[in-house]
Amino acid sequence: MIYLDNAATTQPNMVALEHAQDYLTTRYYNPSALYREGYEVSGELKKARSALLSKVADETLFELVFTSGGTEADNQAVFAFAKRGNAVTTAGEHSAISAVFAELKNRGVVEPRIAPLERNGQVDVEKLLALIDEKTSFVSVMHVNNELGSINDVNTIAKLVKQKNPRVIFHSDGVQAYGKLPFKIAKEIDLYSISAHKLGGLKGIGGLIKRKSLALPAYIFGGGQELGRRSGTENVFGIQQFAFAAEEKFLTLKADFERIMRLRERLWDGLDQTIFQRLSPTDGTPYILNVSAVGLRGEVLLHMANDKGLLIGTGSACSSNSKTRYSKVVLACGYDERVADGVLRLSFSPKNTEEEIDEAIKILNEIGLDLKNRMK
């Protein structure tokens, strides 16, 4: 089986699993407990927090609040700060942001504004800035688009946004970027969401990185964990496994980046370009290659590939059971429904080999041609 759906989730880091197992079986103490054993676990938690944070941010300026994942981090950010005037985001966001903006509209407290995308999947920065005025309270721009892989230069965008209105709280969804792109969070970014299971961690763990001086209201009330912002006994095992996995991932980040870039281009070069059209930009994340079998249906190809042992995605795995089958993001880039219907998302992990890529090329070309002939 060849797994090319690593943007949906990727195999957990097994070494990290083993390493963290201790916190599941023998050191299962509640980190809030007052005896020595509990206190020690809380110390280990602190180390993990610091390790995860320091990879992308200056620890003197930022801190990390653990959450149940990227979606919760995004929800926390929006609901905490999009409270008055208008809030601005992009047409390329993951549903963890776009659905929250739709909810803001329902509640009628804040006016949501959506900035359009360029053909390459990046936000149109000029138009985004045009949406920001003195009444804007919150802006959210994703770092790496989860469908196309397009990268928004969020550090620069945050600076431009703050020049226009320094009171804006700026958030970025970094779920597909963390551990995959060389990046440090600029001081103009107030909030940044991360997730564990996209880089070898487990599902159910993520975090919201926040500027220290920013007062983040409590999202879940209870025992006051996470400095009162997110109550509930910490998922110590998940956090430790996340920290170990991230440690390893960041060590090879640059080497992985280059190798996977070669894999991505090898895959694209091998695909039958009379069937497939490339939607991912060349300067996007190497981890995602989005193509469209124009005029064919991506989901049918997904099933056909599945039967041949190749696991791929269509749009975003998180939106494949939503009512509209067309990728909103692809439509937002200006493509028509025939293109949007044929979308396949191929996403990589450092574990993928050249042999796998070659086999995937063979399968994709075969099924693409097969379906094209059947639909004639």
Query: Restricting to residues 346-375, which ones interact with other proteins according to CB under 8 A?
Result: 374-375
Q: Rounded to whole angstroms, how far apart are CA atoms 229 and 218?
A: 4
Identify which of residues 274 and 322 has a Cβ nearer to other proteins in the complex. Answer: 322
Query: Restricting to residues 288-307, which ones interact with other proteins according to CB under 8 A?
Result: 297, 299-300, 302-304, 306-307
Asked about 318 being catalytic, the answer comes back as yes
Rg of the chain over CA atoms, in angstroms? 21
Amino acid at 225: Q
Amino acid at 259: R
Backbone angles phi, psi at 301, to 5 degrees: -65, -40
Identify the three-state secondary structure at position 9: coil
Q: Rounded to whole angstroms, how far apart are CA atoms 178 and 181?
A: 7
Report in angstroms how near the CB of residue 64 gets to other proteins at its nearest: 36
- Choose the binding region for other proteins from 3-11, 57-65, 238-246, 319-327 (rule: CB under 8 A): 319-327
Identify which of residues 129 and 300 has a Cβ nearer to other proteins in the complex. Answer: 300
Q: Which residues contact 103 (CB under 8 A, 6 or more apart)?
A: none
Q: Quick one: which of 26, 106, 213, 321 contacts other proteins (CB under 8 A)?
A: 321
Count of residues engaged in binding other proteins, rule: CB under 8 A: 13
Q: Quick one: which of 126, 322, 336, 354 contacts other proteins (CB under 8 A)?
A: 322
Tokens, residue 59: 């620890």
Please list the alpha-helical segments (H only) found in 224-314.
236-251, 253-270, 298-307
Report in angstroms how near the CB of residue 314 gets to other proteins at its nearest: 10
- Choose the binding region for other proteins from 131-139, 150-158, 315-323, 345-353 (rule: CB under 8 A): 315-323
Helices and strands, counts by H and E, the chain = 13, 12
Q: Rounded to whole angstroms, how far apart are CA atoms 360 and 375?
A: 22
Identify which of residues 218 and 300 has a Cβ nearer to other proteins in the complex. Answer: 300
How would you class 1 by CB atoms within 10 Å of its CB: exposed for 0-12, middle for 13-18, buried for 19 or more?
Answer: exposed
Q: Counting contacts by CB under 8 A, is residue 273 touching other proteins?
A: no
Tokens, residue 28: 């299962």
Catalytic residue, candidates 318, 325, 338, 366: 318
How would you class 359 by CB atoms within 10 Å of its CB: exposed for 0-12, middle for 13-18, buried for 19 or more?
Answer: middle
- Choose the binding region for other proteins from 23-31, 243-251, 275-283, 317-325 (rule: CB under 8 A): 317-325
Q: Rounded to whole angstroms, how far apart are CA atoms 263 and 348?
A: 8
Identify which of residues 5 and 44 has a Cβ nearer to other proteins in the complex. Answer: 5
Identify which of residues 24 and 318 has a Cβ nearer to other proteins in the complex. Answer: 318
Report in angstroms how near the CB of residue 278 gets to other proteins at its nearest: 24
Active site residues: 318
Residues of this chain that bind other proteins (CB under 8 A): 297, 299-300, 302-304, 306-307, 321-323, 374-375
